[in-house]
Structure 1
């Protein structure tokens, strides 16, 4: 018995060495390939969270479809909501393939969301009370998403990398859509400029939290070391946050707007942005579904899921 276990352990160690050689050489891992359990579980958590966040992320903007200020804006934001839902469905299919060895599927992902086991992105727990908030989601939230997702375009897991190529291409249009709204408001009346500034003030801390803590000691929740080890991504949370600052702080300031952080500046000697850390305790509370709109949006998603169960049954019967 002991000899059998030793042989199995040795075989797994050889598979692991071969696996690491493959990903370090830039090869793509496919759904049917052998992979370490922690690689598979990391991907399931990451891709499930990403997919659910795309779906939950459509809800703040969905609220503005009937209230958009013009037919052109209404069509634009409606198309964006449709795209985000499509991204979510695409990613959940990718996650579902990874879950098959565990006997789980997309139904389990949704149940995990409703039970609180599966988290969705902190920014989509927030309120969007004005049209400027809708524009800022497209401009800065989607801008942050592009920075995060393009860092994974060459991810070692092939199905995820391929899905991200399509998603990132569409997110560029979403960011342009948001920027167009913000530019129009920033160049508008005094009241419209105040509306944009209020939205930036309201969303700033959530944007800082977007990329996650700099290290695990901050909240104990960071999985960045594992994702970098397995070449799912290449940059740390803080690297991505610094990239976001470098791209967007100059753009915000060029519009005559400000960020609500008097300490914010670029340190030329250290070659990085200095900023006030967000409240990471608040971050943990938000992703535990204790944000301003967490329960309302979860309830909407759950009600819709239950009421449309017959559609899924009809589609399954038609296969």
Structure 2
């Protein structure tokens, strides 16, 4: 590798070529390394959105902590909520390092969320009115998250790849937690089985949209090509969605459940799942914070942020005093 003095003498174009050579050879980029603005901004947007989604994603399940049917279930879902908040804080720290050249901090990330400039994942705008929803979030939503996140375990940006290793390990337990709830309900009464089916019916479109549109023409925006160019991830949106179907459709059917799509089947000739596209207009509305629970969850996050300002101020004072 060139030393720092000789590297500084390179033109921006030469630095970019050198950067891409590092990525192609499998090297990890660190926070204090030179990187193209497009790479840095793509990472900031991706990791900030991931961080905020971990935090906002805890809110639908937080609603079920006091309502879970047994003490064991209360403890399980409470531990899961704590894990998700921890994931969010870890990722905010990774994003902060990338934002240092711009003089921005995690406080500004939160303000971007409150202003609507930063989005959180579409699935976490949904309602969770039943215990079946609490189980489905762990089973299928976290299952989808594992498929998406393991695709980035070897991301070219080192701090993100290392954070994902810890997050994915814990998400496996979350998926098992959700699956345990679903299995208990599936082995229960007819009403409990109907509860699961109702949850699948209501969440199906959100699950299809979890991975994003197949291409930019669907919604007008797509960053998948950029993330693949920089080896942040290796598969596109549709490949990830197909992986989700392959893993979970057989499991859903094995429980005597169905998906609300009469066209769904695996085409042996094309070697892929055929399915009915979700209404991508709904997706565009949801990511504009016009989903079923968007406003309520944002309001809850704002209240918590304001009520706990004194904790951040106290910690900041201790840090400055030290």
TM tier, smaller:
over 0.9
2:21 alignment partner in structure 1: 21
Q: Displacement, 1:128? A: 0.2
Q: Deviations over 1:153-208 (max 9, x none)?
A: 00000000000000000000000000000000011000000000000000000000
How far apart in 2 are the matches of 1:185 and 1:94? 39
Following superposition, the deviation at residue 28 of structure 1 comes to 0.1
Q: 1:221 Cα deviation (Å)?
A: 1.8
Q: CA separation in 1, counterparts of 2:111 and 2:10?
A: 37
- Following TM superposition, by how much is the alpha carbon of 1:220 offset from its aligned partner in structure 2, in angstroms? 1.3
- Structure 2 residues not aligned, in runs of 5+: 1-7
Paired residue for 1:125? 125
For residues 25-77 of structure 1, the C-alpha deviation after alignment (integer angstroms, 9 at most, x for no partner) is: 00000000000000000000000000000000000000000000000000000
| Counterpart in the other structure of 1:213 | 213
- The residue correspondences of 1:80-91 to structure 2 (distance < 5 A) are 80-91=80-91
Q: Distance in 2 between matches of 1:98 and 1:10?
A: 22
User: TM-score, normalised to structure 2's length?
Assistant: 0.96
1:97-150 superposed Cα distances (whole Å, 9 cap, x missing partner): 000101101011000000000000000000000000000000000000000000
Q: Which residue of 2 aligns with 1:248?
A: 248
Q: Which residue of 2 aligns with 1:4?
A: none
Q: Name the structure 2 match of 1:313.
A: 313
Q: Which residue of 1 aligns with 2:278?
A: 278
Moved over 2 A (4+): none
1:187-241: CA deviations, max 9, x gaps?
1000000000000000000000000000011101210000000000000000000
CA distance, structure 2, for counterparts of residue 259 and residue 9 of structure 1: 59
Alignment of 1:22-171 (within 5 A): 22-171=22-171
Secondary structure in 2 aligned to 1:318?
helix
Cα distance between partner residues in 1 of 2:306 and 2:24: 44
Structure 1 position 9, deviation (Å)? 11
- Which ranges in structure 1 are unaligned for 5 or more consecutive residues? 1-7
The aligned residue for residue 262 of structure 2 is 262
Q: 1: CA distance between counterparts of 2:10 and 2:252?
A: 56
CA distance in 2, matches of 1:89, 1:56: 12
Mapped to 1, the partners of 2:277 and 2:85 lie a distance apart of: 32
Correspondence for 2:3: none
Range that drifts further, 40-49 or 216-225: 216-225
Question: What TM-score, normalized by structure 1, do the two folds share?
Answer: 0.97
Partner of 1:291: 291
Query: Partner of 2:12 in structure 1?
Result: 12
SS in 2 for 1:261: coil
1:187 paired residue number: 187
Aligned length: 312
Aligned partners of 2:221 and 2:78: how far apart in 1? Answer: 34
Question: Partners in 1 of 2:196 and 2:296 — Cα distance?
Answer: 25
